[in-house]
Amino acid sequence: MRSDGQVRFITVTTRMQMIAAGALAALVLVVLGTMGATAFSQYRAASERIALADREAHVAQSETRLADYRDDLAHTTADLEQRQAYLEGMLDMLPEDIVAEVKADAATDSGAESEKLISMIRDSFPEAEGLARIEARQLAFAEGLTRYADRRATRAEAAIRKLGLDPRAMQRASAAAMGGPLETLSSEADGSLDPRFERLGLSLARMSALERGLDSIPQVMPADMNLISSGFGPRSDPFNGTAAMHSGLDFRGALGSPIHAAADGRVSFVGVRSGYGNVVEITHTSGMITRYAHMSRFNTRVGARVDAGDVIGAIGSTGRSTGPHLHFEVRINGRAVNPRPFLETAPDVLEEARAEFAGHRGATHRG
């Protein structure tokens, strides 16, 4: 430092550098630890809610249910009929192999409780024995379907983690899927929901959210993979030759060649962006969007639902472009990430997961 014609020097010793580096490292560890503790507490809270519902599912006492039969047989009959109609509707929506698997798995945790209830009703209220047996079969099916949903959710969660994404974030992004028709299936005299059906509702919602998350991961090449002309990362700018960051992949192609949606999602933007020219953006779960730029035409509109592989437009040379090509980006919470690992890895990971869902290895992935 120069002051009043004199030059002074400040020497940062190796020891001081090590102390400063250690303090910075400690601060980073504290921040990461706090973030990790927060994420873990959220995950544990969700797990505890499911575990609590699971425990409550085994608390119902046969004596209580017998009192319901005695006090209001008409209400119990109507409740069982409503429950049966819902389950039959669910059976109609499920593939036959899944129905067979669930039924085979329905010899069950509450079997002893059901037999106790049937025995008590046979002895003290024989005219209701048939209803008790119907209820036992319904509960067995609900428990079998719960276990099936839990297995699928676990597989979907493992596949999402394998792709480097957070399944908890995807599940939170699909929180609107929680609840549904099961909330109306009261089976207690006070109108409350049987805990086993509540547990089924939680499991089905978790499975549905995670599997929608899988479908929203980029997994279909938006254009011909063999025609990638520029990768993700630093490069020489094609206009002025200076070093620049390229935030996506470029696919060269003939003018008018089709552009495909890389994953399921909802179209959130169709129009012109500076430098990008004609652009389509698709919003997926967990803060992820895919961006398709330099298009010559649009084949979709804002608000449209698209499936992976759908044609959403055509290759062009609009915006800051040297010739016909598609510029493709993947952004998570506004930050550009390399699309290539998703496009190259996701098809195999998702094919494996879907083959496990189907119970065999011969399933094929979409696109």
What tens digit of pLDDT does each residue of 286-322 get?
A: 789 999 999 999 999 999 999 999 999 999 999 999 9
Answer yes or no: are the C-beta atoms of 260 and 311 closer than 8 Å: yes
Task: Quote the CA–CA distance of 355 and 367 in Å, as a whole number.
Answer: 15
Distances in Å between the Cα of 240 and the Cα atoms of 217, 294, 326 are 35, 19, 20
Higher-pLDDT residue of 124, 320 = 320
Greatest Cα pair distance in the chain: 110
pLDDT, tens digit, for every residue of 164-208? 888 887 777 665 444 444 444 544 545 556 677 778 778 888 888
Answer yes or no: are the C-beta atoms of 259 and 313 closer than 8 Å: yes
Coil, helix or strand at residue 110 = coil
DSSP state of 183: G
Per the structure block, which two tokens stand in for 182?
Answer: 């099961």
The domain ranges of the chain are 1-55, 73-215, 225-358
Task: Quote the CA–CA distance of 148 and 204 in Å, as a whole number.
Answer: 9
Q: Which of 50-64, 155-169, 281-295 has the lowest mean pLDDT?
A: 50-64
**CATH code of the region 225-358:** 2.70.70.10
pTM above 0.75, yes or no: no
Task: Quote the CA–CA distance of 61 and 114 in Å, as a whole number.
Answer: 10
CA dihedral of 125, 126, 127, 130, whole degrees rounded to 10? 110
DSSP state of 59: T
